[in-house]
């Protein structure tokens, strides 16, 4: 793994465990086990470091999520996929998800942070809308909004309130309602 990748992974870890104030070049170097000044060699400013972290998170979370041909065959399978995603993002990928939410809050007053996060989210939304259209939802755009809001709400609830909250039944309910119109 390159020094740049190690720095980005450490930056995500710092954001997800200690918040935005922990994101400094010196702390990233220390967390990544890099010589002092390494992170600033790759990211000259804090803004550049933030942009790198946003890119890293979007790449890790979105990856190949543009494959419309990989959509589940029916609404129940789609609900299971959404449930699995929520569980993964609040389980094994909890720190990265927390870092993403920290960045979304930072993005409320920094368009350079917000824009790439929203672009990544838009890719997921397009797939949700395509899936719901395929399943016969009368208003796929509205249905996608409902499903995404429910999933995002469940993620936030599991991160901030109850890490063991049940996910599947709520997601299935919203997907069924979205498809039924």
Q: Are 158 and 116 in contact (CB under 8 A)?
A: no
What are the structure tokens assigned to 122, written together?
């838009």
CB 58 within 8 A of CB 116: yes
**Which has the closest alpha carbon to 89: 118, 66, 121?**
121
Angle at which helix 140-160 crosses helix 168-180, to 10 degrees, equals 170
Q: Grade residue 50 by pLDDT with cuts at 50, 70 and 90.
A: very high
How far is 130 from 171, CA to CA, in rounded Å? 17
Q: What are the angstrom distances between the C-alpha of 153 and each of 35, 51, 159, 172?
A: 40, 25, 10, 14
Contact 82, 144 (CB under 8 A): no
Q: Return the CATH number of 3-44, one of 1.10.10, 1.10.405, 3.30.70, 1.20.1070.
A: 1.10.10
Question: Over the stretch 58-68, which tens digit does the pLDDT of each residue have?
Answer: 888 876 555 56
**Mean pLDDT, the chain, as a whole number?**
93
Lowest mean pLDDT among 60-74, 79-93, 115-129: 60-74
- Across the chain, how many H-helices and E-strands are there? 9, 0
CA-to-CA distance for 135 and 24, rounded, in angstroms? 47
Residue 169 pLDDT > 70: yes
Tens digits of per-residue pLDDT, 92-115? 999 999 999 999 999 999 998 899
Q: Where are the domains of the chain?
A: 3-44, 62-180
Q: Residues 75-97: what's their mean pLDDT?
A: 96
């Amino acid at each position: 793994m390159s020094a740049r990748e190690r720095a980005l992974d450490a930056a995500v870890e710092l954001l997800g465990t200690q918040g935005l104030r922990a994101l400094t070049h010196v702390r990233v170097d220390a967390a990544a086990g890099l010589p002092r000044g390494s992170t600033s060699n790759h990211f000259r400013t804090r803004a550049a470091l933030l942009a790198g972290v946003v890119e890293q998170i979007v790449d890790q979370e979105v990856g190949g999520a543009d494959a419309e041909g990989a959509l589940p065959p029916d609404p129940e399978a789609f609900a299971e996929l959404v449930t699995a995603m929520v569980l993964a993002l609040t389980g094994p990928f909890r720190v990265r998800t927390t870092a993403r939410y920290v960045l979304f809050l930072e993005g409320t007053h920094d368009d350079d942070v917000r824009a790439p996060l929203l672009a990544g989210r838009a890719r997921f939304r397009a797939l949700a809308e395509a899936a719901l259209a395929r399943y016969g939802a009368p208003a796929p755009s509205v249905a996608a909004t409902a499903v995404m809001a429910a999933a995002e709400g469940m993620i936030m609830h599991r991160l901030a309130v109850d890490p063991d909250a049940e996910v599947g039944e709520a997601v299935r309910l919203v997907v069924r309602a979205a498809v039924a119109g």
